[in-house]
Amino acid sequence: MAINDNNTDSNKSQKQEEKDLPKVVIFLPPPVFSLIGEESFASNKFLFLKAYDSQLPLLQFLSTHSKSIKAILSSGGAAVNADILQLLPEVGLVVTTSAGLNQIDIPECRRRGIKIANAGNVYSDDVADLAVGLLIDVLRKVSASDRYVRQGFWATKGDYPLGSKLGGKRVGIVGLGNIGREVAKRLEAFGCFVSYNSRKKKPYVSYPFYQNVCELAANCDALIICCGLSDETHHMINKQVLSALGKEGVIVNVGRGPIIDEKEMLRCLVQGEIAGAGLDVFENEPDVPKEFFALDNVVLSPHRAVFTPESEKNLSQLVVGNLEAFLSNKPLLSEYVD
Amino acid sequence: MAINDNNTDSNKSQKQEEKDLPKVVIFLPPPVFSLIGEESFASNKFLFLKAYDSQLPLLQFLSTHSKSIKAILSSGGAAVNADILQLLPEVGLVVTTSAGLNQIDIPECRRRGIKIANAGNVYSDDVADLAVGLLIDVLRKVSASDRYVRQGFWATKGDYPLGSKLGGKRVGIVGLGNIGREVAKRLEAFGCFVSYNSRKKKPYVSYPFYQNVCELAANCDALIICCGLSDETHHMINKQVLSALGKEGVIVNVGRGPIIDEKEMLRCLVQGEIAGAGLDVFENEPDVPKEFFALDNVVLSPHRAVFTPESEKNLSQLVVGNLEAFLSNKPLLSEYVD
């Protein structure tokens, strides 16, 4: 196709306009880019600056573009720490595509007056759906009995062992944020008794509150981990908590892998000290300890709780909306407040 | 341990008393006997007469005990038909351990004035839980991604494909009895839009009603089969219904296998004419067509929807309660009315 002079002129002025737009730096491609396409994040209010497309080492790249970078788009993999932030004095916002914020040095952002916007409620429904799905699966042995049928054992070895009833179970939710509340709402419809642990007792919440996660575990048949990862929650689910949960107890983790002492949980699962686990997250993803693979009392999900195409579209709107709001000095759509 | 004369005397009189008790005949051992123990069904108001413990052919056995048999305890496997009923003129009740009644000749029972008591609501919660579990599993690929992780593919091949969101899905419930209503209640908590098909529009139910199952399928993203098996429902889910459900649609069956034309459904699943299926029941159990085993868009459950130990205990109380009520001329606890 021939391009006439007029078009060339308008192309040139478009390039110049783009050059003048505020820049949003990205360190690593967020998984959502390949899932629903980068074009879903396009805006005429800013331009993405992709550090991962440059030959320069990250810190050098950031120094070079230091003045024009107004915001950071962060996903799970790449740290946003003090070393990076001190190179970017113009940055006023970190917006993430993840629900968790453990890659971000939050105190350093606070110190520098940098705002944070996370994925807000976008993921909550999907994560809650999978949490409930994993709980039903572990209790009613869905994946395990599917394996049994696929191996042809139903016809040759007879009936599969009974599962356990969901209704009437006492379910403890660890972390009653957006996700935890959505899990609780669903479990009430199944006739479960919900209680919870969180940093503070929540106002306007009638579920019994346990300040101590060990005490929560002792009073529950199942624990669902819905909290974020932080220094306080790292290995919060340890030998003592698992032992309090007991040999009839099951655990579901849709938070972050390192919240549970994985080695200790594995030992408990192998030795029957807890009854089962439904795990969407692991300590060292994507490497799942091979000892899990032989266990019929676990369901292993490859960190897919947050992902459905429907939600990713909502996410792209939220991310772009947060960036455009920030650049126009408007209130953020999903500002993270401690 | 020595037995003294007194004990022997009392044993004798106990035997005589037992002999005089009304008899409840059982053709085949109900699965629940081996699951939670026959002793859970013991009563001082009746005695079980086990046709399967006798050397005699069934009809001859029944003729021999014809006068003393007042009721039949029936489970899924053994037919209660006209040939059998005509040998048992004293029978006034058929009580089943199953939710379905397809093994019973209901019109013949009606003609003879024989009452029927089924498992009532005992199974409804468990069946509904599994139905929802299967729906989440199919949409969010839980079992399939568990297989992926167990094969070590997460670390070597990367992320597993996205599942589909449950919230906002239009779910059609086929058969809005006790089970269907429990499924609907749960799905509302997930933000699904429920509609239904049944023989008649239900009073006091606000979900949209479709008289025609094909029309229901055309207006839904998922169908959940919760109805019983009868001449009318046999192969009710046929090529036309599956085609109306369409290539994004999924189907869950916790009713009975033959309600779906299994061959046609298999073809649709293989050729992508529907998106997936969660199946607890099959046309020829326990033989599941091997072609299913290779499919990642199906979840195969070995007819375990109804079974948890907690419910089986409730069932034993209900069965014994029905038999004792009948033998004392009191109203049945869970009489089946057409």
Q: pLDDT for A210-249, tens place per residue?
A: 999 999 999 999 999 999 999 999 999 999 999 999 999 9
- What integer pLDDT is reported at residue B311 of this predicted model? 86
Residue B338 within any structural domain of the chain: no
Q: Answer yes or no: do A185 and A105 share one domain.
A: no
Q: Answer yes or no: do B322 and B233 share one domain.
A: no
- What integer pLDDT is reported at residue A40 of this predicted model? 92
CA dihedral of residues B231, B235, B236, B240 (deg, nearest 10):
-150
Considering only CB atoms, A129 lies closest to which of B140, B286, B308, namely B140
Considering only CB atoms, B149 lies closest to which of A147, A149, A300, namely A300
- Residue B25 phi, psi (nearest 5): -85, 145
Considering only CB atoms, A302 lies closest to which of B129, B148, B185, namely B148
CB-based contact A299 B146, cutoff 8 Å: yes
CB-based contact B309 A165, cutoff 8 Å: yes
Q: Answer yes or no: do A200 and A224 share one domain.
A: yes
Question: Sorting pLDDT into bands at 50, 70 and 90, what band is A337?
Answer: confident
Q: Answer yes or no: do B245 and B131 share one domain.
A: yes
At B209 the three-state DSSP class reads strand
Residue A336 within any structural domain of the chain: no
- H/E stretch holding B146 reads helix B142-150
Residue A335 within any structural domain of the chain: no
Considering only CB atoms, A288 lies closest to which of B149, B159, B165, namely B149
Closest-CA distance, A190 to chain B, in angstroms, reads 6
- CB contacts under 8 A, B 154-213 vs A, are 154-155, 158-160, 162-168, 185-186, 188-191
Structure tokens at A296: 């019929």
Q: Report d(CA A124, CA B137) in Å as an integer.
A: 18
- What integer pLDDT is reported at residue B34 of this predicted model? 85
Q: Answer yes or no: do A21 and A44 share one domain.
A: yes
Identify the bridge partners of residue A225 per DSSP, sorted by sequence position. Answer: A174, A253
Q: Around A295, how many Cα atoms within 13 Å sit in the side-chain half-sphere?
A: 25
User: Among B253, B254, B123, which Cα is nearest to A167's?
Assistant: B123
Q: Is A36 on the interface with B (CB under 8 A)?
A: no
Closest-CA distance, B108 to chain A, in angstroms, reads 32
Helices (H), B23-123: 31-36, 58-65, 82-85, 106-111
Considering only CB atoms, A145 lies closest to which of B140, B154, B301, namely B301
Q: Answer yes or no: do B280 and B151 share one domain.
A: yes
- What integer pLDDT is reported at residue B4 of this predicted model? 45
CATH of the domain at A285: 3.40.50.720
Q: Answer yes or no: do B199 and B98 share one domain.
A: no
- Residue A69 phi, psi (nearest 5): -85, 115
Residues of chain A contacting residue B280, judged by C-beta atoms under 8 Å apart: none
- Residue A311 phi, psi (nearest 5): -75, -35
- What integer pLDDT is reported at residue B10 of this predicted model? 65
ipTM of the complex: 0.84
Question: Sorting pLDDT into bands at 50, 70 and 90, what band is B216?
Answer: very high
- DSSP state letter for A293: G
How many distinct structural domains can be found in chain B? 2
CB-based contact B133 A136, cutoff 8 Å: yes
Helices (H), chain A: 5-20, 31-36, 58-65, 82-85, 106-111, 124-140, 142-150, 153-157, 178-189, 213-218, 239-245, 262-270, 309-327
CB-based contact B136 A141, cutoff 8 Å: no
Q: What is the mean pLDDT of chain B?
A: 93
Range of the domain at A47: 5-122+309-327
Q: Report d(CA A297, CA A300) in Å as an integer.
A: 10
pLDDT digits (tens, 9 = 90+) for A98-129: 877 889 999 999 999 999 998 888 889 999 99
Please tell me which residue of chain A has the smallest CA distance to B135: A133
- What integer pLDDT is reported at residue A6 of this predicted model? 53
A302 upstream amide cis, omega within 30 of 0: no
Is there a contact between A32 and A315 (Cβ–Cβ < 8 Å)?
yes
Residue A256 within any structural domain of the chain: yes
Residues of chain B contacting residue A150, judged by C-beta atoms under 8 Å apart: 292-293, 300
Which of A140, A253, A303 to mutate against chain B (most B CBs within 10 Å)?
Answer: A140
Quote the Cα angle for A264-A265-A269, to 5°.
120
Q: Is A125 on the interface with B (CB under 8 A)?
A: yes
Question: Sorting pLDDT into bands at 50, 70 and 90, what band is A7?
Answer: low
- CB contacts under 8 A, B 57-86 vs A, are none
Is there a contact between A46 and A22 (Cβ–Cβ < 8 Å)?
yes
- What integer pLDDT is reported at residue A147 of this predicted model? 98
Residue A292 within any structural domain of the chain: yes
pLDDT digits (tens, 9 = 90+) for A238-266: 999 999 999 999 999 999 999 999 999 99
Task: Sheet with A93-96: list strands edge to edge.
Answer: A47-50, A23-26, A69-74, A93-96, A115-117
Place of tokens 């772009």: A320
Structure tokens at A212: 């101590």
Residues of chain A contacting residue B140, judged by C-beta atoms under 8 Å apart: 129-130, 133, 304, 308
Q: Answer yes or no: do B284 and B181 share one domain.
A: yes
Residue A338 within any structural domain of the chain: no
Residues of chain B contacting residue A160, judged by C-beta atoms under 8 Å apart: 302, 304
Is there a contact between B261 and B218 (Cβ–Cβ < 8 Å)?
no
User: Which residue in B235, B267, B303, B324 is the catalytic one?
Assistant: B303
Is there a contact between B198 and B175 (Cβ–Cβ < 8 Å)?
yes
Q: What is the maximum alpha-carbon separation in chain A?
A: 78
- What integer pLDDT is reported at residue B7 of this predicted model? 54
Q: Answer yes or no: do A114 and A147 share one domain.
A: no
pLDDT digits (tens, 9 = 90+) for A260-284: 999 999 999 999 999 999 999 999 9
CB-based contact A149 B302, cutoff 8 Å: yes
Residues of chain B contacting residue A293, judged by C-beta atoms under 8 Å apart: 149-150, 152
Active-site residues of A, by number, are: 256, 285, 303
Q: Answer yes or no: do A147 and A261 share one domain.
A: yes
pLDDT digits (tens, 9 = 90+) for A137-194: 999 999 999 999 999 999 999 999 989 999 999 999 999 999 999 999 999 999 999 9
Residue B332 within any structural domain of the chain: no
Q: Report d(CA B136, CA B119) in Å as an integer.
A: 27
Q: Is A90 on the interface with B (CB under 8 A)?
A: no
Q: Which of B31-35, B127-131, B166-170 has the lowest mean pLDDT?
A: B31-35
Question: How many other CB atoms are found less than 10 A from the CB of residue A141?
Answer: 24
Quote the Cα angle for B239-B256-B222, to 5°.
55
Closest-CA distance, B19 to chain A, in angstroms, reads 35
Residue A333 within any structural domain of the chain: no
CB-based contact A126 B301, cutoff 8 Å: no
Considering only CB atoms, B293 lies closest to which of A133, A150, A162, namely A150
Active site residue B285: yes
Quote the Cα angle for A25-A31-A32, to 5°.
85
Q: Answer yes or no: do B248 and B230 share one domain.
A: yes
Which of A134, A154, A311 to mutate against chain B (most B CBs within 10 Å)?
Answer: A154
At A53 the three-state DSSP class reads helix
Q: Answer yes or no: do B163 and B78 share one domain.
A: no
Active site residue B303: yes
Contacts of B17 by beta carbon, 8 Å cutoff, 6+ apart = none
